[in-house]
């Protein structure tokens, strides 16, 4: 990329209409992301009609900034109400909520905004400097590598959520099963649809996520066992702790490795088409716990995993644009919508775009820098405003959240079927949590189920049913062995932990 | 509702068996060796295995097999929980005839009342919140929401 291209792109991004689109998108993203039950994907989808009336660059800049802000702001209901705004923020919601309950809501939110912004800036730099190279590497991956990667993400999630890997496995199997509902990815035949037209399109993860995390949490709160009452957690004494970015540089000095590792994981995993950035947060949290010196503190409001996962979250978000821009293969739902908008504007993303009009992709990448820089001041305002959320009486906020759940489940497809799915998912989630089954693996299973199935079936067809075919390519072999080691270690530590418990000794193996 | 692992395990295994049966009923496409039944079969087997492990490890557990203690003596909170479910189900029926603004106000007002909010707070919060939400979604975000009888006066 030449300096001239960079300069021309910077001039384009600094135009008034583009900056206005970025600012408007950021404020809109903050609003949508902060509302429990409304997601970044929904925010992006709802923006598409607006982009009809805009030039290509402001249209994409609007999507870029609203997504970055909505995903980061999704941490707000996660930290304050234990309702994650996105599947990625679900990876560390328990951690940030535990921090809120300990009276450090401001710290949890500051970590979210500060390290998301840093992660996003680093991710955008990676996108700018190494984008084409990484995408070329990822394009060489076959279904074998994608299968192992998806399996690794799913297993990591099942193993790190909760202390019982078997119950984590059950949750994962349920999520993967829900993902099989709809038209079969290989033959196009209806599967488990029971003659329902709505089920033919599959079960959308958004109503399931809203039901399992929001509705079930409200039921838990009303039953007296839950922890939905954030207003109790934030006592007046903790108001001082709501000062934005207080002590954040100290955390940066204490956990620099978490930032580096999180952004590295986010940038590399987010760049893989079909895998997307959501996976990065889950894997980053799992890796952070596995390699931490204090793994026993995870789940109690410990900043280490939070820093790593939230950095991975936004850097993954930036690098998910690598395959979308360079090869026209979207890495997730948001970039899929953005690629659609680009086509609508007569701009075809792909290698030819970089060759024929390099200013356009470069200016899109530069808009990431502006959007992520905006996270610092808007995050400050959001953290200050979050105090108001904590002060609202429970009798006011719970009915509001429930109505948002209804509306969010309805608005994704404009059908009441989504509301029904949300209610069923909420009841199932309530029973699962009451019986110590983690619910996060259900969501990831639902999101990654089709990716896992598509790549597994394709790989089985290529290898003609020979499972050794999954280890024939060097990268696939390395990934496969890594997955088997993770599985082996988990089984071993579970057996060891069980023996320890039976011998009457303290059980710490399952938490390490 | 707490379900003891010695009961939850067999329930999961039974669910796994039902999934296996359902997968076996899926139509086969001629010439396709690995079809749509493969993954559900794997997940069904996983549920049976995990259900078995949970049953075996739960055998040493004491206490009742079923327990809904958390709802005992919850009073108004219990009623609020029942309304949160019944009200939203009712909303699925009344959404079109009542429209979102009226249904939303009814739902929020009843829920707030059951949770102990003061009448004045309910009178202010329910209409302001619901109308703000309605105007934002239908006006700004262009989500198609039924206006119901209030459609005559709402923009």
Residue A69 has pLDDT above 50, yes or no: yes
Test mutation, B15, B39, B95, chain A, max A CBs within 10 A: B39
Q: Which candidate from B47, B70, B108 shows the least CB-CB separation from A400?
A: B108
**How many Cα atoms within 13 Å fall on the side-chain side of residue A214?**
35
Instruction: List all residues of chain A from 311 to 340 with a beta carbon under 8 Å from chain B.
Output: none
CA torsion through residues A350, A352, A355, A360, sign: negative
Instruction: List all residues of chain A from 211 to 250 with a beta carbon under 8 Å from chain B.
Output: 215, 218-219, 222-225
Residue A510 domain-assigned (yes or no) = no
Residue B23 to chain A, least CA–CA distance (Å): 8
Residue A58 to chain B, least CA–CA distance (Å): 18
b/e B44-54 (16+ beta carbons within 10 angstroms → b)? bbbbbbbbbbb
Q: In the numeric block, which tokens belong to residue B107?
A: 């739902």
Residue A397 has pLDDT above 50, yes or no: yes
In chain B, the residue whose alpha carbon lies closest to the alpha carbon of A183 is B36
- A404 contacts in chain B (CB < 8 Å): 133
pLDDT the model gives residue A346: 82
Q: In the numeric block, which tokens belong to residue A498?
A: 């069980």
In chain A, the residue whose alpha carbon lies closest to the alpha carbon of B82 is A219
Q: Which candidate from B38, B95, B121 shows the least CB-CB separation from A396?
A: B121
Contact B111 A398 (CB under 8 A): yes
| Residue the block writes with tokens 């939400």 | B133
Q: How far apart are CA A117 and CA B41, in angstroms?
A: 43
Asked if the C-beta of A456 comes within 8 angstroms of chain B's C-beta atoms, the answer is yes
User: Can you give the residue ranges of every domain in chain B?
Assistant: 1-72, 73-155
Average pLDDT, chain B: 89
Out of A250-254, A385-389, A410-414, A428-432, pick the least confident. Answer: A385-389
Q: Which candidate from A225, A416, A435 shows the least CB-CB separation from B92?
A: A416
Q: How far apart are CA A368 and CA A322, in angstroms?
A: 12
Mean pLDDT, residues B117-146: 88
Residue A3 CB partners (closer than 8 Å, separation 6+): none
Residue A504 domain-assigned (yes or no) = no
3-state DSSP percent of chain B in helix, strand and coil, to 5: 70, 5, 25
Q: In the numeric block, which tokens belong to residue A115?
A: 């390290």
Q: Give the predicted TM-score (pTM) of the model.
A: 0.73
pLDDT the model gives residue A229: 46
More confident residue, A482 or B52: B52
Each residue's pLDDT tens digit, A206-222: 788 788 877 887 888 88
Out of A232-246, A269-283, A301-315, B112-126, pick the least confident. Answer: A232-246
Percent of chain A with pLDDT over 90: 10
Q: How far apart are CA A235 and CA A251, in angstroms?
A: 24
Number of structural domains in chain A:
1
Q: How far apart are CA A213 and CA A148, in angstroms?
A: 28
Top-confidence range, A25-39, A42-56, B29-43:
B29-43
Residue A506 domain-assigned (yes or no) = no
Mean pLDDT, residues B100-128: 94
Residue A465 has pLDDT above 70, yes or no: yes
| Domain membership of residue A325 as a residue range | 3-499
pLDDT the model gives residue A230: 42
Q: Answer whether A313's CB lies under 8 Å from A258's CB.
A: no
Q: In the numeric block, which tokens belong to residue A292?
A: 């931490």
Q: How far apart are CA A429 and CA A214, in angstroms?
A: 10
Asked if the C-beta of A176 comes within 8 angstroms of chain B's C-beta atoms, the answer is yes
pLDDT the model gives residue A390: 58
Residue A198 domain-assigned (yes or no) = yes
Residue A507 domain-assigned (yes or no) = no
Q: How far apart are CA B35 and CA B20, in angstroms?
A: 14
More confident residue, A242 or A143: A143
Q: Which candidate from A173, A402, A449 shows the least CB-CB separation from B47?
A: A173
Q: In the numeric block, which tokens belong to residue B121?
A: 């707070």
- B126 contacts in chain A (CB < 8 Å): 399
More confident residue, A171 or A323: A171
Q: How far apart are CA A325 and CA A390, in angstroms?
A: 40
For the question of an ipTM over 0.90, the answer is yes
Q: Which candidate from A46, A403, A405 shows the least CB-CB separation from B133?
A: A403
pLDDT the model gives residue B84: 92
pLDDT the model gives residue A470: 92
| Residue the block writes with tokens 């997601």 | A39
pLDDT the model gives residue A234: 42
pLDDT the model gives residue A281: 83
Each residue's pLDDT tens digit, A38-62: 667 767 766 776 777 788 889 888 9
Q: How far apart are CA A475 and CA B11, in angstroms?
A: 40
Q: How far apart are CA A512 and CA A23, in angstroms?
A: 43
Residue A174 has pLDDT above 90, yes or no: yes
Residue A160 has pLDDT above 80, yes or no: no
Residue A256 has pLDDT above 80, yes or no: yes
- A465 contacts in chain B (CB < 8 Å): 33-34
pLDDT the model gives residue A175: 92
Beta-strand ranges (E) seen in A416-472 are: none
| Residue the block writes with tokens 């890997």 | A165
pLDDT the model gives residue B10: 95
Chain-centre distance for alpha carbon A84 = 9
Residue A274 to chain B, least CA–CA distance (Å): 19
Each residue's pLDDT tens digit, A281-333: 888 888 888 888 888 888 788 888 889 888 888 888 887 787 677 766 665 66
Q: Answer whether B58's CB lies under 8 Å from B4's CB.
A: yes
From B91, B98, B5, B88, select the one nearest B52 (Cα to Cα): B5
More confident residue, B13 or B136: B13
Residue A87 domain-assigned (yes or no) = yes
Contact A173 B117 (CB under 8 A): no
Q: What are phi and psi of A347, to 5 degrees?
A: -110, 115
In chain B, the residue whose alpha carbon lies closest to the alpha carbon of A194 is B22
More confident residue, B49 or A269: B49
Out of A293-297, A454-458, B86-90, pick the least confident. Answer: A293-297
Test mutation, A399, A400, A422, A438, chain B, max B CBs within 10 A: A399
């Amino acid at each position: 990329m030449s300096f001239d291209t960079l300069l021309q792109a910077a001039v384009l991004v600094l135009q008034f209409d583009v900056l206005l689109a970025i600012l408007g998108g950021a404020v809109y993203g903050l609003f949508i992301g902060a509302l429990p039950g409304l997601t970044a994907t929904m925010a992006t989808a709802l923006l598409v009609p607006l982009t009809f009336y805009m030039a290509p660059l402001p249209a994409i800049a609007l999507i870029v900034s609203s997504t970055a802000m909505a995903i980061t702001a999704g941490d707000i209901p996660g930290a304050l109400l234990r309702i994650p705004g996105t599947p990625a923020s679900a990876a560390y919601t328990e951690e940030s909520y535990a921090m809120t309950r300990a009276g450090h809501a401001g710290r949890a939110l500051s970590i979210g905004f500060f390290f998301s912004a840093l992660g996003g800036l680093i991710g955008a730099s990676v996108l700018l400097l190494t984008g084409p190279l990484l995408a070329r590497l990822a394009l060489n991956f076959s279904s074998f590598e994608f299968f192992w990667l998806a399996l690794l993400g799913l297993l990591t999630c099942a193993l790190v959520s909760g202390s019982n890997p078997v119950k984590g496995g059950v949750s994962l199997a349920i999520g993967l099963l829900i993902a099989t509902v709809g038209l079969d990815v290989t033959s196009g035949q209806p599967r488990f649809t029971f003659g329902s037209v709505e089920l033919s399109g599959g079960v959308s993860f958004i109503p399931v996520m809203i039901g399992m995390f929001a509705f079930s949490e409200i039921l838990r709160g009303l039953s007296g066992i839950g922890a939905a009452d954030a207003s109790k957690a934030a006592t007046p004494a903790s108001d001082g702790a709501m000062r934005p970015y207080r002590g954040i540089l100290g955390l940066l000095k204490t956990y620099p490795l978490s930032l580096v590792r999180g952004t590295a994981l986010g940038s590399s995993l987010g760049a893989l088409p079909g895998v997307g950035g959501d996976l990065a947060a889950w894997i980053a949290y799992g890796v952070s716990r596995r390699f931490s010196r204090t793994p026993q503190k995870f789940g109690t409001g410990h900043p280490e995993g939070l820093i790593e996962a939230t950095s991975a979250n936004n850097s993954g978000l930036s690098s998910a644009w690598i395959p979308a821009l360079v090869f026209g293969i979207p890495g997730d739902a948001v970039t899929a919508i953005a690629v659609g908008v680009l086509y609508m504007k007569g701009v075809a993303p792909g290698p030819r775009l970089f060759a024929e009009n390099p200013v356009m992709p470069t200016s899109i990448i530069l808009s990431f820098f502006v959007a992520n820089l905006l996270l610092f001041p808007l995050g400050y305002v959001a953290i200050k405003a979050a105090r108001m959320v904590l002060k609202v009486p429970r009798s006011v906020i719970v009915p509001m959240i429930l109505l948002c759940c209804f509306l969010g489940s309805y608005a994704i497809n404009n059908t009441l079927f989504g509301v029904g799915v949300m209610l069923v998912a909420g009841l199932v989630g309530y029973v699962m949590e009451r019986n110590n089954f983690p619910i996060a693996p259900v969501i990831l299973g639902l999101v990654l189920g089709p990716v896992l199935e598509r790549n597994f079936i394709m790989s089985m067809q290529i290898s003609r049913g020979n499972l050794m075919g999954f280890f024939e390519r060097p990268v696939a072999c390395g990934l496969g062995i890594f997955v088997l080691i993770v599985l082996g270690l988990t089984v071993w530590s579970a057996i060891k932990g069980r023996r320890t418990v039976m011998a009457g000794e303290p059980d710490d193996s399952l938490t390490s | 509702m707490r379900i003891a692992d010695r009961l939850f395990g067999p329930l999961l295994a039974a669910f796994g068996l039902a999934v296996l049966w359902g997968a076996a009923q899926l139509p086969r496409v001629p010439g396709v060796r690995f079809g749509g039944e493969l993954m559900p079969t794997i997940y069904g087997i996983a549920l049976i295995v995990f259900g078995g492990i949970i049953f075996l490890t739960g055998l040493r557990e004491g206490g009742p097999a079923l327990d809904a203690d958390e709802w005992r003596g919850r009073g108004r909170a219990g009623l609020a929980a029942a309304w949160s479910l019944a009200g939203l189900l009712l909303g699925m029926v009344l959404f079109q005839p009542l429209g979102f603004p009226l249904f939303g106000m009814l739902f929020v007002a009843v829920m707030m009342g059951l949770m102990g909010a003061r009448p004045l707070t309910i009178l202010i919060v329910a209409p302001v919140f619901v109308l703000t939400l309605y105007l934002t979604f239908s006006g700004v975000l262009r989500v198609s929401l039924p206006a119901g009888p209030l459609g005559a006066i709402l923009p």
